Structure 1
Amino acid sequence: MTLKVYADRLSQPSRAVLIFCKINGIDFEEITVEFLKHQQFTPEYKEINPMSQVPAIVDGTFKLFESHAILIYLASAYPGVPDHWYPADVFKRAKIHSVLAWHHSYLRRGATGIVYHSIMAPLHGLTFDPQVPEQARKILPKSLSILEDYWLEGTGPFLFGNSEPSIADLSLVCEIMQLEFLSEKEYREILSPYKKVLKWIEDTKNATGPYFDEVHMALFNVQNEIRERMVKQSISSHKGGSESECIK
């Protein structure tokens, strides 16, 4: 039976799984679950992932969710996946596990905290906590500094100084790509101090082409729409403020 991947390309972990499958020639069926339309809460999908999140996979009778676990499973279960993605060497694997655990605790809290709670949720009328993006803006630069100074130390272009990417590179770069939803100005302000991070992003894109751009096209299409809406809201808010001051 064909592997089924339940994903939303606006979701950074979904994109990581899709790119991994494509670049490694894993035959799969992509089933879209649009989280902004709350499709992850349907009874049918909750049978696959009771946590109501994407991505998830069904491989025969085997069901699995959480993107890191999915990537580890795919790299281990499917023949022909090059060793650099998830090395057989137990010490190299342990390093990958360490950065993946760090990813959820630090980088994701920063990037997702800003993008979801300050942009995606308000634009789509979803509930959000206004304190989260404020905290995330403190977490994200600290995370990028750790990425720049620790995880990317070494002579190679990828994490741990490796010469080829691992599942950790793919997961973390897809996370940072979520910042593309921000205004171009804010995106540059956040990332421009981190030269090694910027080069690593480009190196990972190149190493996973053409699938990286193909899978991220949904993000880029929505990015333009969101940026236009943000500009319109800013103009509308500014006009409203001017009129209110005149009334006073």
Structure 2
Amino acid sequence: MALEMYLDLFSQPCRSVYIFAKKNNISFDFMKVSLLEGEQYGEEFGKINMIRKAPAIRDGDFCLAESIAILKYLAEKYQTSDHWYPADLQKRARVNEYLSWQHMGIRMHGSKMFWLRLLIPKIMGVEVPKDKMDGALEDLEGSLKLIEEKFIGDKPFIAGEQISLADLVAIVEIMQPVGSGLDVFEGRLKLSAWRDRVQAEIGKELFDEAHQGILASQEMVKNMDSSKMQHGESPSGAGVIPIHDLAKFLRSPSSNSSVFFKGLCEQKVA
């Protein structure tokens, strides 16, 4: 039985798994799960992952969820090149350090900008208040600064001289707000140079293939029927948010926005 991967490439974690498998010539059947259409709630997907998150894989009788667990499983099962998940204790620790930080360190803030710039205006028909937008941008910029100064530093890649799972997981998250029209690389020479190195290691064709959907998000959202989005069904893979919760968010103090988006990011992607 072929390895099955249940993916939606609008989701950052799904893109990391897809790119890793393709780059390492891991044969798999692509099982598309449209998070926008709510297919993660279907009976068949529930048999693969009862948590209702994407990505998920089925390898024979073995099912696995959570992108980080999947990436490590694939790296070890298929004995991919050591640089992806190094055997060296300290290099592996650097990879694990980033993987442990990234979920709330960058994903929440990148996803937040995607929602604020594209989805909430479409769903609610109103622009997000400037104070909330400014606060979200400040949070994102803080995370990007940490990636540049702490995680990349003076090295070509996060774990050292070669690309690793940490770089792969980082780039897909950083590309998410780019899909909303925000050029996060502008004025960030170190981050831009790192992106170019990561893209070169992955291969431009594969990189572009994996990101073509998210980079076309502005046009896609513009053409969406907002009446079908009244539960906040999101092409970013961010989950399902009731309309009254979005209204409450828009009325709430800016200090509460991180709590709202923490819940958002903990929903239907892994």
| TM-score for both structures, normalised by structure 2 | 0.74
| One of 163, 172, 175 as aligned partner of 2:161 | 163
Distance verdict in 2 for CA 1:86–1:179, change over 3 Å: same
Work out the CA distance in 2 between the residues paired with 1:135 and 1:75.
38
Work out the CA distance in 1 between the residues paired with 2:107 and 2:21.
22
Measured after TM superposition, the shift of residue 119 of structure 1 is: 1.9
Code of the residue aligned with 1:12 in structure 2: it is Q
Distance verdict in 2 for CA 1:67–1:122, change over 3 Å: farther
Distance verdict in 2 for CA 1:124–1:30, change over 3 Å: farther
Partner of 2:208: 213
Measured after TM superposition, the shift of residue 117 of structure 1 is: 4.8
Code of the residue aligned with 1:222 in structure 2: it is S
Work out the CA distance in 2 between the residues paired with 1:70 and 1:132.
35
Work out the CA distance in 1 between the residues paired with 2:36 and 2:123.
8
Partner of 1:109: 108
1:114·1:132 contact (CA, 8 Å) conserved in 2?
A: no
Distance verdict in 2 for CA 1:18–1:182, change over 3 Å: same
Code of the residue aligned with 2:209 in structure 1: it is E
1:106·1:143 contact (CA, 8 Å) conserved in 2?
A: yes
Name stretches of at least 5 consecutive residues in structure 2 with no aligned partner: 225-270
Distance verdict in 2 for CA 1:117–1:49, change over 3 Å: farther
| One of 175, 180, 184 as aligned partner of 2:173 | 175
Higher relative contact order (CA 8 A, sep 6+): 2
Partner of 1:50: 50
Measured after TM superposition, the shift of residue 134 of structure 1 is: 6.2
For residue 216 of structure 2, give the secondary structure of its aligned residue in structure 1. Answer: helix
Work out the CA distance in 2 between the residues paired with 1:101 and 1:176.
16
Distance verdict in 2 for CA 1:105–1:221, change over 3 Å: closer
1:56·1:65 contact (CA, 8 Å) conserved in 2?
A: yes
For residue 2 of structure 1, give the secondary structure of its aligned residue in structure 2. Answer: coil
Code of the residue aligned with 2:83 in structure 1: it is H
The 5-angstrom pairing of residues 20-35 of structure 1 reads 20-35=20-35
Measured after TM superposition, the shift of residue 138 of structure 1 is: 3.0
Measured after TM superposition, the shift of residue 121 of structure 1 is: 5.3
2:180·2:217 contact (CA, 8 Å) conserved in 1?
A: no
Measured after TM superposition, the shift of residue 179 of structure 1 is: 1.4
Code of the residue aligned with 2:190 in structure 1: it is K
For residue 191 of structure 1, give the secondary structure of its aligned residue in structure 2. Answer: coil
Report whether the alignment pairs 1:41 with 2:41: yes
Name stretches of at least 5 consecutive residues in structure 1 with no aligned partner: 231-248
Partner of 1:74: 74
1:109·1:139 contact (CA, 8 Å) conserved in 2?
A: no
Work out the CA distance in 2 between the residues paired with 1:150 and 1:138.
18
Whose helix proportion is higher, 1 or 2?
1
Measured after TM superposition, the shift of residue 168 of structure 1 is: 0.8
* Percent identity of paired positions between Structure 1 and Structure 2: 35
Work out the CA distance in 2 between the residues paired with 1:56 and 1:132.
33
Measured after TM superposition, the shift of residue 192 of structure 1 is: 1.8
Dislocated runs of 4+, deviation >4 Å:
129-135
Partner of 2:13: 13
Over residues 131-173 of structure 1, what are the superposed CA-to-partner deviations in whole Å (9 max), with x where a residue is unaligned?
A: 986653332111011111111113x42114x222101100110
1:106·1:139 contact (CA, 8 Å) conserved in 2?
A: no
2:10·2:214 contact (CA, 8 Å) conserved in 1?
A: yes
Stretch moving more, 111-120 or 49-58: 111-120
Measured after TM superposition, the shift of residue 120 of structure 1 is: 3.2
Report whether the alignment pairs 1:203 with 2:201: no
For residue 210 of structure 2, give the secondary structure of its aligned residue in structure 1. Answer: helix
Work out the CA distance in 1 between the residues paired with 2:101 and 2:9.
23
Work out the CA distance in 1 between the residues paired with 2:13 and 2:57.
12
RMSD (Å) for aligned C-alpha atoms: 2.5
Over residues 42-62 of structure 1, what are the superposed CA-to-partner deviations in whole Å (9 max), with x where a residue is unaligned?
A: 122122222222111111111
Work out the CA distance in 2 between the residues paired with 1:64 and 1:21.
15
Code of the residue aligned with 2:28 in structure 1: it is F
Work out the CA distance in 2 between the residues paired with 1:6 and 1:168.
22
